[in-house]
Chains A and B, each alone.
Chain A
Amino acid sequence: MEECANQGGGAGDDVVTSDGVPIAGWYIPAADGSDASAPTVILVHGFTSDKSGDLPYAIGLHEHFNLIAFDERNSGRSGGTQTTAGVLEQNDVRAMVDWVERVKRPDHVGLFGVSMGAAAVLAAAGHDPRIEAVALDSMHTRIVYQFEQRLEKHGHPAYPGTWATFIGAWLRTGTWLSGVDPADTIAAMGERPIMLTHGTADDEDLPERTQAFFDDALAAGRTIELHWCDGAKHAQVDDVCGDDLAQWLSDFFTRNLAQRGTGQDRRLRTYAAAVRRLHPPTLHAALDAERRSAG
C-alpha cells in the first residue's frame, strides 16, 4: 500500500466533532468479505501526516478487519486550523467512533495510533468503554520530553525553548499540550489490552522512557505488551520492521477483538465492567429515594 494520489473529497457533515470540526475519512471493508459487523480498527496518523500515512499500518489488518483511516483536524481533507498534540484530536477520534457505531454497528472496535495519533487514541479510549483494545506506535510518554529532544537534536538548548513552545501553543490554540500525556491518560484504560511498538533508535521519544512507561503500566496491573523494532527511529517502525509490525498488529487485534464474541457478549462485558466500578451507596440512596417517593 502506498500514498494515494487522490485524497478523496473534502469533509462533509457525516462526521463532525463535538467542537464542530468536519472530519474526512475512508471506510475500508475487510478483504475477506466480512460484513460491517466484523471487528473494525480505526487508524490514527501522526503529526503532519494524513490518512494516506495510515495505509502502511493497514497491511496486517486489511484481510480480516474493516478499517477506517481519517484525517485529523488541520490535515488532509478535514477542517480545522490547529494541531494540538492530541488534546483536541481526541475529539476527532471520538467522532469517528461515534460514526462507525451509529452507521456500521461493528461487534468490536479497536484503535491504532502513531506518535501524536497514539496520544489522541489513548485519551479518547480511556473513558469510552466501546473501545476494547488499543495499539500505540512510537508514542511519547510526556510531550515535554519530546519537545526537549527535538530542540536539542537541532542544536538548541531544551530550555527555555520547551516552555516557550507550550506557551506559544497555548496562546495560539487555547490548549495546554501536556493535557493528554499518555503517562496520565493510561490509567483510565483499566484492564483493557494495550500494545506498544517502538523503535530502539527513536531519538525523539526515547526508548528508555517507553520501557519505564511499560514497566509502570505492568506494575499497575494493566494488560499491556511491548514490541521493539531494532534500529527504527521515530515513527519508522513500519519502514524498518514492516513484516513484524503487520504480524504484531494482526495477532493483537485478532486476540483482543476477532476472537471475542458477538455484540451481545460485548454488551455484557461492558455491563460487567460498569458493575466492577459500581458505587453501591449511591445506588442504595437512589433506591431509597425512589422507594420513599412512591409512598
Chain B
Amino acid sequence: MTWQQVARESGVSAHTIQRTQRQVRFEVDGILALAGWLGRPIEDFTVDDGTAPS
C-alpha cells in the first residue's frame, strides 16, 4: 500500500502523514484520524517524560 492510499483511506493528507517523521505540532483531528485508521488509542503514541513509548 502506498502513502497516497493511506492518505485516502484515513482522510488525512499525505503531507501531514509525511510530517509524522518529524517532531512537529499537529492538529488534533488529523492525529485522531490516523490513530483511528490504525485501530489504536492515541495514548499508544504519546510520551510522559520525554522518552519514546515502548
Residues on A facing B (Cβ under 8 Å):
127, 187-188, 268, 271-272, 274-275, 277-284, 286-287, 290-292, 294-295
Of all chain B residues, the one with the shortest Cβ separation from A286 is B38
**Choice from B28, B45, B48 contacting A283 with Cβ under 8 Å:** B45
Given contacts A287-B17, A287-B34, contact A275 B42 (CB under 8 A): yes
A138–B3 alpha-carbon span in the complex (Å): 55
- A128 vs chain B, min Cβ distance (A): 12
| Residues of chain A within 8 A of B53, CB atoms compared | 279, 282
| Residues of chain B within 8 A of A287, CB atoms compared | 6, 17, 20, 34, 37-38
A187–B48 alpha-carbon span in the complex (Å): 10
1/0 contact string of B15-27 vs chain A (CB within 8 Å): 0010111111011
A41–B15 alpha-carbon span in the complex (Å): 43
Given contacts A282-B52, A295-B1, contact A277 B47 (CB under 8 A): yes
Q: Does B8 contact A (CB under 8 A)?
A: no
Q: Which of B40-54 contact A (CB under 8 A)?
A: 40, 42-49, 52-53
A274–B42 alpha-carbon span in the complex (Å): 7
- A176 vs chain B, min Cβ distance (A): 20
A106–B20 alpha-carbon span in the complex (Å): 35
Q: Are A271 and B28 in contact (CB under 8 A)?
A: yes
| Residues of chain B within 8 A of A278, CB atoms compared | 26, 31, 42, 45-46
| Residues of chain A within 8 A of B6, CB atoms compared | 287, 290-291
Of all chain A residues, the one with the shortest Cβ separation from B22 is A280
Of all chain B residues, the one with the shortest Cβ separation from A273 is B46
Given contacts A278-B26, A280-B20, contact A127 B48 (CB under 8 A): yes
A112–B52 alpha-carbon span in the complex (Å): 32
Query: What are 29 A-B interface contacts by the 8 Å CB criterion?
Result: A188-B48, A268-B28, A271-B32, A271-B42, A274-B46, A275-B26, A275-B27, A277-B47, A279-B23, A279-B46, A279-B47, A280-B19, A280-B20, A280-B21, A280-B23, A280-B45, A281-B20, A282-B44, A284-B17, A284-B21, A286-B40, A286-B44, A287-B17, A287-B38, A290-B37, A291-B1, A291-B6, A292-B1, A294-B1
A291–B27 alpha-carbon span in the complex (Å): 22
| Residues of chain A within 8 A of B24, CB atoms compared | 280
Given contacts A287-B6, A287-B20, contact A282 B45 (CB under 8 A): yes
Q: Are A280 and B26 in contact (CB under 8 A)?
A: yes
A228–B11 alpha-carbon span in the complex (Å): 52
| Residues of chain B within 8 A of A295, CB atoms compared | 1
- A266 vs chain B, min Cβ distance (A): 14
Of all chain A residues, the one with the shortest Cβ separation from B30 is A275
| Residues of chain A within 8 A of B20, CB atoms compared | 280-281, 283-284, 287
Q: Are B45 and A286 in contact (CB under 8 A)?
A: yes
A206–B27 alpha-carbon span in the complex (Å): 44
| Residues of chain B within 8 A of A277, CB atoms compared | 46-48
